Structure 1
Amino acid sequence: MLLSCRSHYQYQQFLRGWIPLLWAGDPCRVESFAEPLTKVWLLDLDPAIPLLSQKYPSFGRPVEFEPVDLLRSLILMSDMKVFGITEWVDKLRSDKLLAVLSGFDPGKTPGVGTFYDFIDRFWLEDDTSQAERRKRLRKPSRKPSKKLKAGEKLPVKHPRVVDKLVEQAMDGREPFPARPERLIQEVFGVALGPKGFPMVFWGCQKKP
Structure 2
Amino acid sequence: MMHVSRSHQDYLAFVSELLRKEYNSPEALLFLQRYYSDLIFWITAIDLSAAASLLRPTYSSKPRGRKPHDPADMLRCLLLMTKLELSVDKGVVAIRTTPVYAILSGFNPGESPGVGTFYDFFHRLWRASTPHKTGRVKRRLKKPRKKGKKNEKQAPKNPKTTEKLVSRILREDKIHYAPKEHDLLQQLFQTLFVLPSAAKGLLGDTNAFRVIGDGSPVETGARSFGKFLCDCRKSGNWKCTCKRKFSDPDADWGWDSYREKYYYGRTLYMFTAADSSYDLPVYPRLFRASQHDAVSWICGYRELRYWYADWKVGEAILDSAHDALPIYTMLEHDDVSAIIDLNLRRSGQLVYNEMKLTTDGVPVCPIGRKMVCWGRDSGRPRIKWRCPAKVGKWECPTPCSTSDYGRTFYTSTTDNPRLFPRIRRDSKEWRKRYALRTSVERCIKRQKVDYKLETSHGRSSRHWNLRVYLIAMCQHADAWLEQAKKQKQLPAIQQWLYESVAA
- TM-score when normalising by structure 2: 0.34
The correspondence for 1:140, drawn from 115, 139, 142, is: 142
The alpha carbon displacement at 1:48 in A equals 2.5
1:39 aligns with 2:42: yes
Q: 1:39 is aligned with what amino acid? A: W
* Contact kept in structure 2, 1:52 and 1:68, CA below 8 Å: no
The alpha carbon displacement at 1:59 in A equals 1.7
Alignment of 1:50-89 (within 5 A): 50-60=53-63, 61-82=65-86, 84-89=87-92
CA 1:106 to 1:130, structure 2 compared with 1: closer, same or farther past 3 Å?
same
CA 1:106 to 1:173, structure 2 compared with 1: closer, same or farther past 3 Å?
farther
Task: Write the deviation string for residues 142-188 of structure 1: whole angstroms up to 9, x where unpaired.
Answer: 021xx667x57355327897xx7xx99xx8665xx443222122222
Alignment of 1:163-202 (within 5 A): 174=177, 177-195=178-196, 200-202=475-477
* Match in the other structure for 1:157: 156
Q: How many angstroms apart in 1 are the aligned matches of 2:19 and 2:148?
A: 60
Q: How many angstroms apart in 1 are the aligned matches of 2:113 and 2:139?
A: 34
Q: How many angstroms apart in 2 are the aligned matches of 1:184 and 1:201?
A: 15
Higher relative contact order (CA 8 A, sep 6+): 1
Structure with the higher helix share, 1 or 2: 1
The alpha carbon displacement at 1:107 in A equals 0.8
Q: How many angstroms apart in 1 are the aligned matches of 2:179 and 2:140?
A: 20
Q: 2:135 is aligned with what amino acid? A: R
CA 1:201 to 1:195, structure 2 compared with 1: closer, same or farther past 3 Å?
closer
CA 1:173 to 1:132, structure 2 compared with 1: closer, same or farther past 3 Å?
closer
Q: 2:16 is aligned with what amino acid? A: R
Alignment of 1:94-113 (within 5 A): 94-113=97-116
* Contact kept in structure 2, 1:3 and 1:58, CA below 8 Å: no
Q: 2:75 is aligned with what amino acid? A: L
The alpha carbon displacement at 1:97 in A equals 0.7
CA 1:195 to 1:157, structure 2 compared with 1: closer, same or farther past 3 Å?
same
Q: 1:186 is aligned with what amino acid? A: Q
Q: How many angstroms apart in 2 are the aligned matches of 1:172 and 1:68?
A: 32
What is the CA RMSD across the aligned residues, in angstroms?
3.4
SS in 2 for 1:192: helix
CA 1:154 to 1:7, structure 2 compared with 1: closer, same or farther past 3 Å?
closer
The alpha carbon displacement at 1:65 in A equals 1.5
Point out the more displaced range, 60-69 or 98-107: 60-69
CA 1:141 to 1:201, structure 2 compared with 1: closer, same or farther past 3 Å?
same
Q: How many angstroms apart in 1 are the aligned matches of 2:95 and 2:133?
A: 31
* Match in the other structure for 1:9: 9
The alpha carbon displacement at 1:18 in A equals 1.4
CA 1:93 to 1:35, structure 2 compared with 1: closer, same or farther past 3 Å?
same
Q: How many angstroms apart in 1 are the aligned matches of 2:49 and 2:39?
A: 19
* Contact kept in structure 2, 1:47 and 1:195, CA below 8 Å: no
The correspondence for 1:119, drawn from 110, 119, 122, is: 122
Q: How many angstroms apart in 2 are the aligned matches of 1:101 and 1:114?
A: 18
SS in 1 for 2:195: coil
Specify the structure having the higher radius of gyration (Cα): 2
Q: How many angstroms apart in 1 are the aligned matches of 2:112 and 2:82?
A: 17
CA 1:131 to 1:154, structure 2 compared with 1: closer, same or farther past 3 Å?
closer
The alpha carbon displacement at 1:52 in A equals 1.6
SS in 2 for 1:78: helix
The alpha carbon displacement at 1:36 in A equals 1.8
CA 1:148 to 1:124, structure 2 compared with 1: closer, same or farther past 3 Å?
closer
Task: Write the deviation string for residues 15-62 of structure 1: whole angstroms up to 9, x where unpaired.
Answer: 110122343353344222112211221111123321122211222234
Q: How many angstroms apart in 2 are the aligned matches of 1:13 and 1:94?
A: 22
SS in 1 for 2:127: coil
Where does the alignment leave 5 or more consecutive residues of structure 1 unmatched?
none
Q: How many angstroms apart in 1 are the aligned matches of 2:79 and 2:189?
A: 9
CA 1:8 to 1:2, structure 2 compared with 1: closer, same or farther past 3 Å?
same
SS in 1 for 2:128: coil
- Percent identity between the aligned chains? 26
Q: 1:16 is aligned with what amino acid? A: S
CA 1:154 to 1:6, structure 2 compared with 1: closer, same or farther past 3 Å?
closer
Structure with the higher strand share, 1 or 2: 2
